[in-house]
Amino acid sequence: MAQIGLQTAEHEEILNLIDTLRFQGISRYVDLPQVIVCGDQSSGKSSVLEAISGLRFPTKDNLCTRFATELILRRGPVPKVVVTIIPSADRTEQDAERLSNFSPPSTSIADFAEIVKSAEKDMGLDNDYTVFAKDILRVELCGPHQPNLTLVDLPGIFWAGNRAQSDNDAELVQSLVKSYMQSKRSIILAVVSAKNDLANQIITKLAREIDPKGQRTLGIITKPDLLFAGSDSEAAFVELAKNEDVYFKLGWHVLKNRDYDTKDTTSAERDAAEKEFFQTRVWSSALPSSQLGIDNLRPRLSRVLLGQILAELPSLVRDVERELDVCQSRLGALGAPRGSLLEQRTYLFHASQQFVDLTKSSVRGTYEDPFFGSADTDKGYNKRLRAIVQHTLTAFAARMRVEGHAQEIDDKEKDGQPERKSGPQFVSRQVYLDTVEARMRRNRGRELPGLFNPSIVDELFFDQCRPWKHLLHETEERLVSAARTTLELVVEHISDSVTGDGIMRFLIRPNLEIIVTKLHQKVEEVLKPHMKGHAITYNHYFTENLQKKRRDAEREEMAEKIRQFFPALDPTSELRNRRLYQGSIDTGALLAALLQDTELDMTKFACIEATNAMEAYYKVALKSVIDSFGVYAVEQCLLNELPEIFKPEIVFTLDDAMVTRIAGESLESLAEREKLNKKLKVLQDTMTTLRRLRTFGPSTHDSVSDANPHHEGEEDRSL
């Protein structure tokens, strides 16, 4: 046998470490670099594996590989074979344990066909019911001439069912093969048979769809001896082997399989017949020897696999670290096992401490804890209750100023002003004053002419602030909803999902409802003085507003009288004023006009005064209700009470039955804990192994880089 290259102890250890990871089960969580052998049914995949390993795979004319097979080849002084079954994730716990304990009938290489048949039987494969399985057959083969190589053999793809295999089986196989091919760390060994036209073999189409640039695909052409010498078909497959038809970055390789007449020949006889064939046909002159025969394929595959491992090592480490963090986080959320009452109460006590701390931080606006995550995400923002409250109350204040009054009293007449569907309705001041006058007539008391019954201000104000109730209650609902969301996220963080449901159901929600009830009562209390009773304030801002309204009205009225006395006068023109004062003015008439009663209609005067009083009081009350809602309702009745909902003292008041009902581990929680602990051990063992892989420096990668064409922008058609 020809000398097999790339067999240093360092390289062998790298491959062994990856196989250790695979055996530990890390492939369930992250993808590992591997060579997968795939092709159409009867394309010669099993013959390729036989040629590489020397093992005789059992084959039938009507049915080929029935499950994925991991073939681990290692050099060793004594030939031996170790066969195990890796159960699929779909297996029940009982079946998984049975398959994991599979014991082959023999450990002799000569009996490998019988070993595979025994494994098929344990997997439950039979032609009548189950034809293909998702379990993996793991074959470790050691021998003095084996290459350091690991391959995964997959069932052959087929499209139409028959008596031996159904259409459902075809879909199962296609799904299985695609799942392996889609792994970004897999090297695809695409096997095509020269016996069939390339257009009829689906594997190259799948390879180009899944690996469109051909970066990680190596093509294998089998059965070239079935082509007629000098035929167009032979020329087409030679062109394919030259990478001129279907291009793969890793190129193509050609093998001659045993035919039916030579199916019982030894591996040495098979290899000799292959060498003789390539020396007598067009292949040796058309292609470099490195692309022909099994002796060149073995080291080539070892180089490709090793290069892929070293190239993918950094991303593999990152993936394992990420999975490890997630796993530890989930176990942290589950907390310590809690089978006893003391463990359950202790669990709730620690959970309540975390709840109080995180809720206080959320309410106070201190977001240093990792729980809060990024504010750029919706989830992170929803954890920041203080930020939500600040934003909501700021928006509430703005809405109150814009939408809080029922009517927008406009000093100017506007014809054809459309009625709004929502928000304040426009009304001219004159129309509004007419309405006030009508009310005053119906509410006349013993007040003197020119005065008004104080109760009219109350009525006008209550009508004007009518939207307040809706705006306050709507904001109240938003804040309660935000608080509820924050609390749910806190509970989700401090406990597992099942216990969290119990905490929310029996502790958080009932206590939150009490807080919400008190909050609503406080909101009603804040609103009550502005909904009925009588307007009252001791804020000087009211008198300032009222005096300002009077001054503005007097100023406007005075300006109007001046304009009437001097029709040609434009008050905005200083030049005209100077010219006017330079002329003769009847000062007596001017004085009489200015001293004329401001308003002869005493009723109208009273209407104006009442309206001014209402508008001045509205401004004072608006500021008051906005601040009162924020301070006395939101802060005191909602935010300050939230951390108290699930404080540690509550845990000690719970009876034993309630503690167990909330904190006792469910079957789902126990199953998840067991699953996570198994995963954690696999991940921790994987990290230990990967630390050993990290010790292989750049020199290791450099030693195989020339043999591994898997580099961006590099083109090597001679492989």
Q: What angle separates helix 455-464 from helix 509-531, to the nearest 10 degrees?
A: 140
Higher pLDDT, 219 or 51: 219
Shared domain for 349 and 311, answered yes or no, is no
What mean pLDDT is predicted for residues 644-673? 89
Most confident of 52-56, 348-352, 545-549: 348-352
Q: Is residue 12 part of a domain?
A: no
Position 107 scores a pLDDT of 75
Name which of 16-30, 111-125, 514-528, 594-608 the model is least confident about: 594-608
Q: Judge if 655 and 520 occupy the same domain.
A: yes
Residue written as tokens 């935000």?
A: 482
Average pLDDT, integer, range 619-643: 94
Instruction: Please compute the mean of the pLDDT values over residues 321-326 and round it to a whole number.
Output: 89
Higher pLDDT, 626 or 153: 626
Highest mean pLDDT among 204-218, 253-267, 547-561, 565-579: 204-218
Of 339-348, 469-478, 553-562, give the range with the top mean pLDDT: 469-478
CA distance 149 to 53: 10
Question: 288 and 203, same structural domain?
Answer: yes
Say if residue 40 is in the same domain as residue 166. Answer: yes
Domain CATH code at residue 270: 3.40.50.300
- C-alpha 694/C-alpha 218 separation (Å) is 27
Instruction: Tell whether 687 and 623 lie within a shared domain.
Output: no
Residue 87: inside a domain, yes or no? yes
- Under a CB-based contact definition with an 8 Å cutoff, are residues 18 and 308 in contact? no
Does 452 map to a domain? no
Most confident of 20-34, 360-374, 441-455, 673-687: 360-374
Task: Find, among 12, 702, 718, the residue nearest to 311 by Cα.
Answer: 702
Q: Is 17 a domain residue?
A: no
* For residue 616, pLDDT beyond 90: no
List phi, psi (to 5°) of 308: -65, -40
Residue 707 maps to a domain: no
More confident residue, 644 or 334: 644
36 domain residue, yes or no: yes
Are residues 547 and 524 part of one domain?
Answer: yes
Same domain, 602 and 690: no
Cβ–Cβ < 8 Å for 155, 180: no
Among 646, 663, 680, which residue terminates a domain?
Answer: 663
Average pLDDT over residues 314-335: 85
In a domain, 644, yes or no: yes
- Identify the pLDDT of residue 18: 80
Q: State whether 680 and 618 are in the same domain.
A: no
Helix or strand holding residue 253 (H, E) = strand 252-254
Same domain, yes or no, for 136 and 218? yes
Whether 631 is in a domain gets the answer yes
Q: How many domains does the chain have?
A: 3
Which is nearest to 67 in space by CA: 130, 114, 137, 129? 137
pLDDT at position 597 is: 53
Mean pLDDT of 350-364: 96
- Show the tokens assigned to 536: 């009252």
For residues 278 and 200, membership in a common domain is answered with yes
State what percent of residues in the chain have pLDDT above 90: 29
Print the SS3 string covering 127-139.
Answer: CCCCCCCCCEEEE
H, E, C per residue of 528-578: HHHHCCCCCCCCHHHHHHHHHHHHHHHHHHHHHHHHHHCCCCCCCCHHHHH
- Residue 514 confidence (pLDDT): 96
Are 262 and 365 members of one domain?
no
Contacts of 239 by beta carbon, 8 Å cutoff, 6+ apart: 245
Q: Residue 87: what pLDDT?
A: 85
- Confidence class of residue 511 from pLDDT cuts 50, 70 and 90? very high
pLDDT tens-digit readout, 48-78: 888 888 777 765 544 446 678 888 887 777 7
Half-sphere exposure (CA, 13 Å, Cβ side) for 245? 14
Return the sign of the alpha-carbon dihedral for residues 453, 455, 459, 462.
positive
Model confidence at 549, in pLDDT bands (50, 70, 90)?
Answer: confident
Q: Which domain holds residue 360?
A: 343-413+421-427+467-568+588-663
Are 364 and 394 within one domain?
yes
Q: Which pLDDT belongs to residue 566?
A: 67
Q: Does residue 634 surpass a pLDDT of 90?
A: yes
Pairing of strands 149-153, 68-75: antiparallel
